[in-house]
């Protein structure tokens, strides 16, 4: 009953404008008459709304096409959503590389780019991130001021302001004001989120978790992380530390992953994902020592995931992270979960692979863009 | 913008009625003039609303009291909320006893009762539950038709219809249509919920978790359960199995609690809480074998809780369950969580003890009663 502030005419205009944009956003090229059908609005209202949207460049006149258009003298004007009126960025700042995706206002990816970053410090990592973004924009011929929003994923705990309050995975990264510093160079809203949370969002958007509201995503690695969606929303926890399960393996006073995966008795270098990939590769060739190491490691990962599943009871568990070797986890995981869980979730390998985090980041940037395109839906929340 | 169905006059009447009830529900005895001040409504409106509430018996005329009342001829009529217009039941069906609390419409407990039930089958357990409730109502002189709602807690997984779809803790309990069968004898809405979830609700309502929206409650026992609140709401999981962490100890292929707590080499009888209490008692007297057994057990419980905390990142962890021995868990838990968690939650012993589950059950019954007392707030949700 509250929240109905502002003049009604302005409110109505926004409602009508959102309805019109929504009708066009699927890609259809519609005439005023078709827009009247789609929205239930009168001709003068649709004409007024379209005028406003043309002025904002959110709608453009579609080129007439097909033989019909030419034959019949002057055809009715058709309008389409101007998906290129703005662009969105999804960025994944990982331990080994920065991956970026660029999309139009429908979320369609128009360009991708990545740059290696392993073992560099925080400033260097930020620099390379900025460079990767600049290169991507240049190649795609998109000026910086066309960016509406950027989503950014990082390992570790992120606070509401986009500051990384803790990260064990990236050297010197704790304390970095990632949101503030990237917003200064990008000059658009920058939304920073934990990488595993974004991977979960990405899989729900375009991957194996489509249609699921209760998702656990395991970002497998030497220091595994996890992201979870509950009721379709990211669960960050009271202090943003939910899913930071990297310490679980220490609980049993057992060996860390670096030792578990060692084939020589000497632990691997922490965070050395190349060495890990090599162990997985050897195991697949049948090397018995590597196979035993992988078995130990998978057993541990399965244990960690089971603890999460018992706690959360998700609809689906998505396993992603390492490009190599990760498919060895899915079957043992299904078996173990079947033994210990009262209700067995679906267990699937990530469908988005190495792009998952960047796509999740893109999705939260797209959410922000939609708040601008359809403000009325978001004002609507004030009624509850 | 949707949901404004029904005549506006009826909607307004419900809004005004709710505002008036709310003003009286704190316990104040108010005159029409004071109700006008409290609600901002006009005299005729307040008079009309009070008339309706008197008719529904939700409001009664307060006895004039104090010397003033007698001195000045005919004082202004005062009205009070009729908290006894209905009653609410909270029931905890545990492995060893059924505990019931009875409250008025403000949630104030007016009577308590419990009955032992250990090792009986499902029918016998249901019978004793009905008997316990009947005895409680009889002693409190409350006729059954005065019950507005009952909340019921049980170990195990409960579906939306109040059927226990799985319970390892109570013999023959799986498949019991607890909600349906108790509703038939009580003839009021019966809301069934997992016991640990209710304990979490109870602690947030009246215990150590007051004011916290993100709560993990550990119901310690031979087969520990856990309940969690996320954003102030129970997290049940996709299939209602969230928090069923009883299987966690099996993951490490280690001994079950019955063996961990054994002081003789022979495992304790599963679910034999008396024997458990005895081991804890012995440990406190300094018995070295018992002390070692308790240490092993606490270590395991702490491990399970830490897995949950890393997954959920709650604001507070409440430990309850066993009356005896459970305080030995809190200190080791704080220490261990300090070692493994990126963000340390508060760790507290349950403040409600053995009543916690019944009080949580009462709280959900009270929620249901409030939907009836203040329907307008709940319709309000339709605006979002």
pLDDT in tens, A167-197: 888 889 999 999 999 999 999 999 999 999 9
Contact (Cβ atoms closer than 8 angstroms) between residue A152 and residue A93: yes
Instruction: Examine the pLDDT at A35 and tell me if it is beyond 80.
Output: yes
pLDDT (tens digit, 9 = 90+) per residue, A116-169?
Answer: 998 899 999 999 999 999 999 999 999 999 999 999 999 999 999 999 998 888
pLDDT exceeding 90 applies to what percent of chain B?
A: 56
Mean pLDDT computed over A192-212: 96
What is the pLDDT, as a whole number, of residue B27? Answer: 87
Does A240 contact B313 at a Cβ distance shorter than 8 Å? yes
Search chain B and give the residue with CA nearest A336.
B251
- H or E segment to which residue B217 belongs: strand B215-219
More confident: B14 or A272: B14
What is the pLDDT, as a whole number, of residue B150? Answer: 98
Nearest to B310 among A236, A244, A384 (CB): A244
Name the minimum distance, in Å, from the CA of B152 to any CA of chain A. 21
Mean pLDDT computed over A89-108: 95
Name the minimum distance, in Å, from the CA of A341 to any CA of chain B. 7
Tokens 């004007």 -> residue: A77
CA distance B364 to B360: 7
- For residue B5, name the pLDDT band (cuts at 50, 70, 90): very low
Contacts with A, B 269-308, CB within 8 Å:
303-304, 306-308
Instruction: Examine the pLDDT at B175 and tell me if it is beyond 60.
Output: yes
DSSP classification of residue A30:
B
Name the minimum distance, in Å, from the CA of A3 to any CA of chain B. 11
Q: Where are the alpha helices (DSSP H) in A141-192?
A: 178-186
Search chain B and give the residue with CA nearest A337.
B251
Nearest to A241 among B243, B244, B343 (CB): B343
CA distance B89 to B364: 10
Backbone dihedral angles phi then psi of residue B231, each to the nearest 5 degrees:
60, 35
Mean pLDDT computed over B75-80: 90
Instruction: Examine the pLDDT at B381 and tell me if it is beyond 50.
Output: no
Instruction: Examine the pLDDT at B138 and tell me if it is beyond 90.
Output: yes
Q: Which chain A residues are closer than 8 Å to B230 by Cβ?
A: 230, 235
Please indicate if any CB of chain B lies within 8 Å of the CB of A251: yes
Nearest to B251 among A245, A306, A343 (CB): A306
C-alpha distances in Å from residue A331, one per residue of A337, A340, B173: 10, 15, 33
Q: Which chain B residues are closer than 8 Å to A166 by Cβ?
A: 342
CA distance A29 to A170: 47
Does A314 contact B230 at a Cβ distance shorter than 8 Å? no
Burial B112-136 (b: 16+ CB within 10 A, else e): ebbeebeeeebeebbebbeebbeeb
Instruction: Examine the pLDDT at B383 and tell me if it is beyond 50.
Output: no
Instruction: Examine the pLDDT at A107 and tell me if it is beyond 50.
Output: yes
Nearest to A241 among B307, B308, B342 (CB): B342
Does A307 contact B311 at a Cβ distance shorter than 8 Å? yes
Does A303 contact B238 at a Cβ distance shorter than 8 Å? no
Instruction: Examine the pLDDT at B73 and tell me if it is beyond 60.
Output: yes
CATH topology of domain B86-200+357-373: Nucleotidyltransferase; domain 5 (3.30.420)
pLDDT (tens digit, 9 = 90+) per residue, A307-327?
Answer: 889 999 999 999 988 655 667
What is the pLDDT, as a whole number, of residue B271? Answer: 53
Phi-psi region of A95 (alpha: psi -120 to 50; beta: other; left: phi over 0): alpha
* Mean pLDDT over the full length of chain A: 85
Nearest to B311 among A15, A243, A251 (CB): A243
- What kind of architecture, by CATH, is found in domain B210-350? 2-Layer Sandwich (3.30)
Instruction: Examine the pLDDT at B176 and tell me if it is beyond 90.
Output: yes
Which of A4-13, A36-45, A77-86 has the lowest average pLDDT?
A4-13
Instruction: Examine the pLDDT at A271 and tell me if it is beyond 70.
Output: no
Give the residue extent of every domain in chain A: 8-84, 86-200+357-373, 210-350
Q: Which class for B381: exposed (0-12), middle (13-18), buried (19 or more C-beta within 10 A)?
A: exposed
Does B315 contact A238 at a Cβ distance shorter than 8 Å? yes
Instruction: Examine the pLDDT at B6 and tell me if it is beyond 80.
Output: no
Nearest to B383 among A240, A311, A384 (CB): A384
Please indicate if any CB of chain B lies within 8 Å of the CB of A175: no
Instruction: Examine the pLDDT at B74 and tell me if it is beyond 90.
Output: no
Does A247 contact B315 at a Cβ distance shorter than 8 Å? no
Mean pLDDT computed over B78-89: 96
Contact (Cβ atoms closer than 8 angstroms) between residue A227 and residue A198: yes
Question: Hey, what are B89's tokens?
Answer: 């039941």
What is the pLDDT, as a whole number, of residue A278? Answer: 79
Contact (Cβ atoms closer than 8 angstroms) between residue A98 and residue A114: yes
What is the pLDDT, as a whole number, of residue B168? Answer: 80
- For residue B170, name the pLDDT band (cuts at 50, 70, 90): confident
What is the pLDDT, as a whole number, of residue A250? Answer: 53
Nearest to A247 among B166, B313, B340 (CB): B340
Contacts with B, A 77-136, CB within 8 Å:
none
- For residue A6, name the pLDDT band (cuts at 50, 70, 90): very low
3-state secondary structure of B91: strand
CA distance B237 to B197: 12
CA distance A180 to A193: 13
Contacts with B, A 321-360, CB within 8 Å:
336, 339-343, 345
Q: Where are the alpha helices (DSSP H) in chain A?
A: 8-25, 32-39, 43-55, 66-71, 122-140, 178-186, 195-206, 248-251, 257-260, 273-285, 288-312, 327-340, 356-373, 375-380
ipTM of the complex: 0.77
CA distance A341 to B335: 29
Search chain B and give the residue with CA nearest A225.
B311
pLDDT (tens digit, 9 = 90+) per residue, B9-49?
Answer: 677 888 899 999 999 998 899 999 999 999 999 999 999 99
What is the pLDDT, as a whole number, of residue A329? Answer: 76
Instruction: Examine the pLDDT at B324 and tell me if it is beyond 90.
Output: no
Instruction: Examine the pLDDT at A383 and tell me if it is beyond 50.
Output: no
3-state secondary structure of A180: helix
pLDDT (tens digit, 9 = 90+) per residue, B263-319?
Answer: 666 666 555 667 777 787 888 898 888 888 878 777 777 878 888 899 999 999 999
Long-range Cβ contact pairs of A44-53 (< 8 A, separation 24 or more): A45/A16, A46/A20, A49/A13, A49/A16, A49/A17, A49/A20, A50/A20, A50/A79, A52/A13, A52/A17, A53/A17, A53/A20, A53/A21, A53/A79
- For residue B378, name the pLDDT band (cuts at 50, 70, 90): low
Which of A228-232, A333-337, B152-156 has the lowest average pLDDT?
A333-337
Q: Which chain B residues are closer than 8 Å to A337 by Cβ?
A: none
* Contacts of A94 by beta carbon, 8 Å cutoff, 6+ apart: A117, A155, A195, A357
3-state secondary structure of A245: helix
Instruction: Examine the pLDDT at A223 and tell me if it is beyond 80.
Output: no
What is the dihedral angle through the alpha carbons of A279, A283, A286, A288, rounded to the nearest 10 degrees? 80
Instruction: Examine the pLDDT at A89 and tell me if it is beyond 80.
Output: yes
Please indicate if any CB of chain B lies within 8 Å of the CB of A32: no
**CATH code for the domain defined by A8-84:** 1.10.10.10
Which of A191-200, B106-115, B261-270 has the lowest average pLDDT?
B261-270
Please indicate if any CB of chain A lies within 8 Å of the CB of B200: no
- H or E segment to which residue B360 belongs: helix B356-373
* Mean pLDDT over the full length of chain B: 85
Mean pLDDT computed over B152-160: 93
Instruction: Examine the pLDDT at A20 and tell me if it is beyond 50.
Output: yes
Same fold, A8-84 and A210-350: no
Q: Which chain B residues are closer than 8 Å to A237 by Cβ?
A: 214, 312-314, 343
Instruction: Examine the pLDDT at A267 and tell me if it is beyond 80.
Output: no
Q: Which chain B residues are closer than 8 Å to A313 by Cβ?
A: 236-244
């Amino acid at each position: 009953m509250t929240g109905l502030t502002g003049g009604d005419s302005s409110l109505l205009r926004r409602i009508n404008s959102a309805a019109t944009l929504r009708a066009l956003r699927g890609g259809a090229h519609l005439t005023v008459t078709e827009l009247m059908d789609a929205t239930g609005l009168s001709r003068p209202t649709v004409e007024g709304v379209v005028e406003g949207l043309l002025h904002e460049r959110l709608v453009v006149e579609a080129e007439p096409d097909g033989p019909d258009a030419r034959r019949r003298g002057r055809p009715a004007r058709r309008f389409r959503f101007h998906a290129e009126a703005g662009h969105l960025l999804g960025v994944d700042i990982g331990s080994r590389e920065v991956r970026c995706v660029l999309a139009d206002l429908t979320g369609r990816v128009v360009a991708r780019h990545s740059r290696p970053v392993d073992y560099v410090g925080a400033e260097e990592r930020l620099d390379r991130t900025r460079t990767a973004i600049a290169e991507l924009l240049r190649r795609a011929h998109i000026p910086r001021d066309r960016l509406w929003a950027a989503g950014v994923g990082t390992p570790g705990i992120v606070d509401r302001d986009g500051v990384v309050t803790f990260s064990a995975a990236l050297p010197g990264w704790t304390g970095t004001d990632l949101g503030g510093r990237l917003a200064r160079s990008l000059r658009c809203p920058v939304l920073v989120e934990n990488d595993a949370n974004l991977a979960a969002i990405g899989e729900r958007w375009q991957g194996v978790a489509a249609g699921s509201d209760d998702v656990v995503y395991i970002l497998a690695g030497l220091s595994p992380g996890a992201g979870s969606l509950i009721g379709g929303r990211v669960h960050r926890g009271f202090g943003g530390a939910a899913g930071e399960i990297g310490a679980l393996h220490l609980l049993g006073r057992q060996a860390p992953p670096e030792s578990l995966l060692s084939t020589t008795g000497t632990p691997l270098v922490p965070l050395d994902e190349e060495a890990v990939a090599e162990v997985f590769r050897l195991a697949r060739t049948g090397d018995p020592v590597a196979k035993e190491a992988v078995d130990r490691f998978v057993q541990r990962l399965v244990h960690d995931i089971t603890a999460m599943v018992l706690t959360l009871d998700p609809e689906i568990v998505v396993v992603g992270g390492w490009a190599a070797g990760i498919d060895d986890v899915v079957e043992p995981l299904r078996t173990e979960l079947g033994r210990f869980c009262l209700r067995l979730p679906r267990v699937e390998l990530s469908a988005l692979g190495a792009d998952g985090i960047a796509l999740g980041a893109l999705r939260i940037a797209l959410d922000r863009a939609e708040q601008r395109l359809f403000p009325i839906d978001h004002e609507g929340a004030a009624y509850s």
